[in-house]
Amino acid sequence: MPNSNSMTPKTGSIDHSHYSPKLTNDDLAPTRQQNWSWYNIFSFWMSDVHSMGGYVVAASFFTLGLASWQVLICLLCGICIVQICANLVAKPSQMAGVPYAVICRQAFGVFGANIPAVIRGLIAFAWYGIQTFLAANALMLVLLKFFPTLTPLTQSRWLGLSSLGWMCFGLMWFLQAMVFWHGMSAIKRFIDFAGPAVYVVMLALAGWILYQTGLSNISFTLSSKSLSNGQQAWQMVTAIALVVSYFSGPLLNFGDFSRYGKSMDEIRRGNRWGLPFNFLLFSIVTVVIVSGTQSLFGQMITDPIETVSRVGSSVAVALGLLTMIIATIGINIVANFVSPAFDFSNCAPQKISFRTGGMIAAIGSVLLTPWNLFQSPELIHYTLDVLGAFIGPLFGILVADFYLIKRGKISVDDLFNATPGGRYWYRNGFNPKAIMALVPAVVIGLAISFTPSLHQVANFSWFIGVFLGGGCYRYLARRERVADTAVHYAGMVSAPKE
């Protein structure tokens, strides 16, 4: 729990009466319930990894023309980088017991934190709709398989989606909203179930394919490309970057979940099992399935929904697709619902609660008609590049401020102080140096993304953004670096020496 003079150690109750109402509500204030164990963090990452998107990404690396051992090294290196970054971004939120949007006040100012919060919220805004559409599409396949009389409902379209599509999308939208509406306790219970459930289906599907094809027909190299040593090295570096980029969104707002961790030791343990071990095992199971489809159906299928739909048993198909739906709901809530809920709430704490913030994202996702975005590969490509251009600098500035400038110290009380006397007031509640570091880093990232000749470099937009944003901020704020002998004041939390 955060070490503050306003906390009662025995009960964990916290007095928020002296916090500014412009910056505080029950959802943003330091949590009283830091009771998540390593398994809860492990389940969080399982829900994030075990998605249709994660399946396709893992499978695609085996088509780059690399040997199996090279691909596995890329996956392991990439996910280890994610693990290190997750540990870094988790610590300040776990120490203070506050979400990502609030911890950003330390670097951007108590009001300037709305800038990174809104950016992250809008990113989740779009992907929430796309993931809901993918889950709805899986549900539609189940319904059509068992109730073919519904086929006429797929003929007519409105705003790019069929009548049956609207019904399925509406149902998925409602189910996710129901889980979210019951709060973080319900979300924790849901992801504790969703992640392991997908493993059961994936392992069963891999076993069925091995039974049908035989072990001799499973190959870990699914491409006939012949690459030179230099090309292999470039593909390996690119694959590592893509792994990190894929997880960059949930990684940025990991503090929304680490704030509930019992301790950093529990979080590190959960990250260790939930990332390197879990992702590598998931990747191996994935390639067994994908390779088996090539032998079994005569073509390589990277869409898990299509693979499951080709299983002979109707009951098995229904169970498999329903589990995929549960997995998609899990990652959607984890990555794209919780984040905007806290982020939008941070903008107007007294008017927008955690629930209201989440529902703003849910309603906005429908207005975006995400199925139209998903049907435009070129638009999705540029969208991903743009997201990386924003997410990288935000991560870099957050980490540089906490570890290099503030030296692992947080004034919890000042995170909620909206007066010029607060340490994070800076200039009218905004830190000009953080904004000055963010803008050029984002502009350079966008320039790389939209320059055709730099297309290959765009895969590294997250890394470029991290170093540009973090490095620029470290230079601009160098005179504000907190000394080891800094005077401790009320509400100060210091990172324990390790």
145-152 mean pLDDT: 85
Task: Give the pLDDT score at 426.
Answer: 94
User: Does the pLDDT of residue 257 top 80, yes or no?
Assistant: yes
56-71 mean pLDDT: 72
Of residues 492 and 323, more confidence is placed in 323
Which stretch, 236-240, 282-286, 380-384, has highest mean pLDDT?
236-240
Structure confidence at residue 375 as a pLDDT band (50, 70, 90): low
User: Does the pLDDT of residue 302 top 80, yes or no?
Assistant: no
Task: Give the pLDDT score at 443.
Answer: 94
Task: Give the pLDDT score at 453.
Answer: 85
Task: Give the pLDDT score at 13.
Answer: 44
Of residues 399 and 373, more confidence is placed in 399
Q: What's the whole-number average pLDDT of the chain?
A: 82
Which residues in 25-145 belong to E strands, given as ranges? none
> Residue 12 — left, alpha, or beta (φ > 0 → left; ψ -120 to 50 → alpha)?
left
User: Does the pLDDT of residue 484 top 50, yes or no?
Assistant: no
31-46 mean pLDDT: 88
Q: With pLDDT > 90 as the criterion, what percentage of the chain qualifies? A: 30
d(CA 35, CA 12): 12
Dihedral over alpha carbons 309, 279, 374, 240 (to 10 degrees): -140
Task: Give the pLDDT score at 359.
Answer: 85
89-106 mean pLDDT: 95
219-248 mean pLDDT: 79
Phi, psi at 369, each rounded to 5°:
45, 70
Task: Give the pLDDT score at 272.
Answer: 93
User: Does the pLDDT of residue 489 top 60, yes or no?
Assistant: no
Of residues 494 and 33, more confidence is placed in 33
15-29 mean pLDDT: 85
Task: Give the pLDDT score at 1.
Answer: 42
Angle between helices 52-60 and 278-297 (to 10 degrees): 70
d(CA 259, CA 22): 21
d(CA 327, CA 340): 20
> Model-level pTM?
0.84
157-181 mean pLDDT: 85
Task: Find the farthest-apart pair of alpha carbons in the chain and give their distance in angstroms, rounded.
Answer: 74
d(CA 152, CA 148): 9
Using alpha carbons, select from 324, 78, 86 the residue that is nearest to residue 194: 324
User: Does the pLDDT of residue 462 top 80, yes or no?
Assistant: yes
d(CA 442, CA 323): 38
Q: Are 166 and 132 in contact (CB under 8 A)?
A: no
Tell how far CA 18 is from the center of its chain.
33
Cα separation values, 371 from 64, 110, 295, Å: 28, 37, 32
Task: Give the pLDDT score at 364.
Answer: 83
Task: Give the pLDDT score at 496.
Answer: 56
Q: Could you report the per-residue pLDDT of 312-368, keeping only the tens digit for each? A: 667 777 777 777 777 777 778 777 788 888 999 999 998 988 888 888 888 888 887
